[in-house]
């Protein structure tokens, strides 16, 4: 078999798997979306108030926190994975919780990775709101609460972009969730490929294991789904950026 | 005429830079007071102090017949020199002060439409405010500043971006607001002709000093200070 034939066969099989809604692939996609989606929602709930505090309040340690956020934006995922692994293993400080190799552990890892990203980008968007906008709120009789609402409205597209950037990063991330999630599938077999339905197996971690197993068409199918998800997120982010 | 507020011994500095020096000025209820002077004289700074935006380094503001504090600012309106546009529709922009004051939706609708007609932007409510031209944005900001009937209207160069027809219209509105509602108006301007057309009294600021306060007729016929006479003649003074 020539390499072209091999590739064409792999790709056509991959599309077959996707369009037949293969349950193994579906379960992996579901875990990816659930884990990264939940992590992004939790990160957003932390990041936006944090960005506001950093933008408007002058408290002690503010500069240090900003430095921490900036560092956190480029944190290597494997490092975060290792850190949480050490915390959660049975002998670790949080070992009693019995959470290593669970979706919750993966959510925690991605939460730590994504929160600084959403905070940093939101903070930049909030800070980019011109001072006269806020002053005008006051001249028209508004108070500080109305000023905050106004900055939110002015920065809204930037904040949405921040959330989408966080989600994109979470979905594409592999290092941390591989370490703390363990790429686990249930025993048995669904859909005639791979193993049982996914427990902590995501699009990215499954691609690594399927590829090393030599199941190229499954990997390609997972890759196509991953790329489509990230592409749509980017297009959405682009759309909002152009409106802002 | 009754004095509405007084500025007593006010001075202002940004860092080491003295911007206002010992300003004493009384503004009368229902007058149009023009603050003139060259660029950098301190007109904007004084308006910001009157709006309680900036706290002066020394001196006091005394308001008669108006309680001080938060509610006071709500009864004033300051229109910035550079038009500020909220990233929303023209309607939302103009409605802002009314919404903040909790007006009824139908009253807001009516007042905004009225204000837009007044400033020559009829039917523009649905437009995106960011898309307006410089002159349109300035008129929108003007509508936004007057729509809730402030008792004191502070205007910082409100016609600087406008063509002659719109200048005449805005000046006309300023006079009408004063005549019909008794609003007290302080307007900063470089424009001597504008002073001639709308002001009752004039204060001349030069390098942070209020060198002359006079009636309009007084300043044009018999200025008390040689430097304000030069400014009126259109000679540049620095
Ligand atoms: N926030 C600030 N920080 C430092 N300097 C300032 C600040 N605001 C104003 N100034 C300075 O104060 C002086 C007076 O400024 P102001 O804006 O009051 O002048 P103006 O009379 O309104 O001038 P223009 O006609 O150009 O608007 C200027 O020299 C300006 O540089
Ligand atoms: Mg000015």
Q: Nearest by CB to B100, which of A135, A141, A154?
A: A141
Name the nearest CA neighbour of A219 among A187, A174, A182, A186. A174
Residues A47-73: tens digit of each pLDDT? 999 999 999 999 999 999 999 999 999
Comparing CA positions, the residue from B133, B90, B132 lying closest to residue B113 is B90
Pocket probe for ligand 1: among B13, B18, B44, the residue whose CB has the most ligand atoms within 8 Å is B44
Domains of chain B, CATH where assigned:
3-232 (3.40.50.300)
Distance from residue B166's CA to the centre of ligand 2 (Å): 20
pLDDT band at A150 (very low <50, low <70, confident <90, very high): very high
* Strand partners of residue B185: B32, B153
Average pLDDT value for residue range B83-98 = 97
What is the domain extent for residue A31? 3-243
CB contact under 8 A, B51 and A139: yes
- B81/chain A closest Cα distance in angstroms: 11
Q: Which residues of B touch A129 (CB under 8 A)?
A: none
Q: Is B156 exposed, middle or buried (0-12, 13-18, 19+ CB in 10 A)?
A: buried
pLDDT in tens, A85-142: 999 999 999 999 999 999 999 999 999 999 999 999 999 999 999 999 999 999 999 9
Query: Which of A129, A136, A149, A154 to probe the B interface (max B CBs under 10 A)?
Result: A136
**How much is the mean pLDDT over chain B?**
92
Kindly tell me the burial class for residue B111, based on how many C-beta atoms sit within 10 Å of its own C-beta (0-12, 13-18, 19 or more). buried
Which atom of ligand 1 approaches the CA of B81 most closely? 27
The pLDDT tens digits for B25-83 are 999 999 999 999 999 999 999 999 999 888 999 999 988 766 666 577 888 999 999 99
Q: pLDDT: is B231 or B144 the higher one?
A: B144
Which ligand has the minimum distance to the alpha carbon of residue B48?
A: 1
The reply to whether B77 touches chain A by the CB within 8 Å rule is: yes
Handedness of CA B164, B165, B171, B175 (dihedral sign): positive
For the CA of B46, the closest atom of ligand 1 is 18
Give the three-state DSSP class for A22.
Answer: coil
Say which DSSP state B51 is in.
Answer: T
Domain count, chain A: 1
With cut-offs at 50, 70 and 90, classify the pLDDT of residue A241.
Answer: confident
Calculate what percentage of chain A has a pLDDT beyond 70. 99
What is residue A190's three-state secondary structure?
strand
Give the DSSP letter of residue B61: E
Q: In this complex, which of A133, A142, A244 lies closest to B100 when CB atoms are compared?
A: A142
pLDDT at residue B69 in the model: 61
d(CA B238, CA B227): 10
Q: What is the pTM of this model?
A: 0.85
- The pLDDT of residue B42 is 96
Nearest CA to ligand 1 atom 9: B45
The pair of three-digit structure tokens given for residue B131, joined into one six-digit string: 């898309």
pLDDT value, residue B238: 46
Select the residue of A132, A143, A146 nearest B84 (Cβ to Cβ).
Answer: A132
Residue that is written with structure tokens 């600087």 in the block: B160
Q: How many CA atoms lie within 13 A of A138 on its CB side?
A: 14
Q: What is the mean pLDDT of residues A71-80?
A: 95
Order of strands across the sheet that contains B58-63: B17-28, B3-14, B58-63
**What is the residue whose two structure tokens read 């020199």?**
B81
DSSP string, B155-191: EESTTTT--HHHHHHHHHHHHHHHHHH--EEEEEES-
Quick one: which atom of ligand 1 is closest to the CA of B15?
Answer: 4
Q: What is the ipTM of this complex?
A: 0.91
Structure tokens of A30? 């579901």
The rounded mean pLDDT for chain A is 94
Give the SS3 label for residue A111: helix
Span B155-199, pLDDT tens digits: 999 998 899 999 999 999 999 999 999 999 999 998 889 999 999
Identify the pLDDT of residue B98: 97
Record: contact B84-A150, CB cut-off 8 A: no
Report how far ligand 2's centroid is from the alpha carbon of B73 (Å).
Answer: 20
Residue A137 burial class via C-beta count within 10 angstroms: exposed 0-12, middle 13-18, buried 19 and up: buried
Task: Give percent of chain B above pLDDT 90.
Answer: 82
B14-28 pLDDT per residue, tens: 999 999 999 999 999
Q: B100 vs A130: CB contact, 8 Å cut-off? A: no
- DSSP 8-state code for residue B131: G
Rounded (10°) angle between helices A103-127 and A156-172: 150
**A219: CATH:** 1.10.3720.10
Cα-to-centroid distance, B208 and ligand 2 (Å): 12
């Amino acid at each position: 078999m020539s390499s072209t034939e091999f590739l064409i066969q792999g790709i056509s099989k991959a599309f077959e798997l996707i369009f037949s809604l293969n349950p193994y692939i579906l379960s992996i996609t579901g875990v990816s979306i659930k884990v990264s989606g939940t992590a992004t929602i939790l990160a957003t709930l932390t990041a936006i108030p944090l960005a506001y505090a950093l933008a408007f309040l002058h408290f002690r340690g503010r500069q240090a926190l900003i430095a921490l956020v900036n560092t956190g934006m480029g944190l290597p995922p494997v490092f975060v994975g290792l850190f949480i692994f050490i915390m959660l293993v049975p002998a670790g400080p949080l070992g009693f919780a019995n959470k290593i190799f669970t979706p919750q552990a993966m959510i925690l890892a991605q939460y730590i990775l994504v929160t600084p990203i959403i905070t940093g980008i939101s903070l930049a968007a909030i800070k980019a709101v011109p001072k006269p906008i806020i002053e005008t709120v006051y001249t028209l009789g508004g108070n500080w609460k109305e000023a905050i609402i106004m900055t939110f409205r002015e920065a809204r597209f930037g904040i949405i972009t921040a959330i989408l950037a966080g989600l994109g990063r979470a979905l594409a991330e592999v290092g941390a969730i591989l370490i703390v999630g363990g790429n686990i599938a249930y025993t048995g077999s669904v859909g005639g490929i791979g193993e049982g339905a996914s427990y902590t197996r995501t699009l990215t971690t499954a691609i690594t294991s399927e590829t090393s197993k030599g199941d190229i068409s499954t990997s390609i199918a997972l890759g196509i789904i991953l790329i489509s998800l990230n592409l749509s997120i980017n297009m959405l982010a682009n759309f909002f950026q152009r409106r802002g | 005429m009754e004095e509405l507020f007084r500025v007593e011994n006010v001075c202002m500095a940004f860092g080491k830079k003295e911007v206002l020096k010992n300003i004493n000025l009384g503004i009368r209820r229902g007058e149009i007071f023009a603050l003139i002077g060259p660029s950098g004289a301190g007109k904007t700074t004084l308006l910001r102090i009157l709006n309680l935006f900036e706290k002066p380094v020394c001196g006091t503001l005394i308001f008669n017949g108006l309680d001080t504090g938060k509610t006071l600012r709500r009864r004033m309106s300051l229109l910035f020199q550079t038009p500020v546009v909220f990233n929303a529709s023209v309607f939302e922009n103009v409605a802002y002060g009314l919404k903040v004051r909790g007006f009824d939706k139908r009253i807001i609708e009516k007042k905004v439409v009225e204000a837009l007609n007044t400033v020559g932007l009829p039917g523009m409510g649905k437009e995106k405010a960011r898309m307006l031209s410089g002159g349109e944005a300035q008129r929108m900001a003007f509508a936004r500043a007057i729509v809730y009937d402030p008792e004191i209207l502070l205007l910082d160069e409100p016609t600087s971006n406008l063509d002659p027809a719109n200048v005449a219209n805005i000046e006309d509105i300023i006079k009408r607001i004063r005549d019909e509602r008794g609003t007290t108006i302080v307007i900063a301007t470089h424009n001597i002709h504008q002073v001639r057309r709308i002001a009752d009294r004039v204060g001349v600021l030069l390098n942070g000093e209020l060198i002359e306060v006079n009636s309009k007729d007084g300043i044009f016929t018999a200025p008390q200070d040689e430097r304000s006479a030069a400014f009126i003649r259109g000679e540049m003074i620095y």
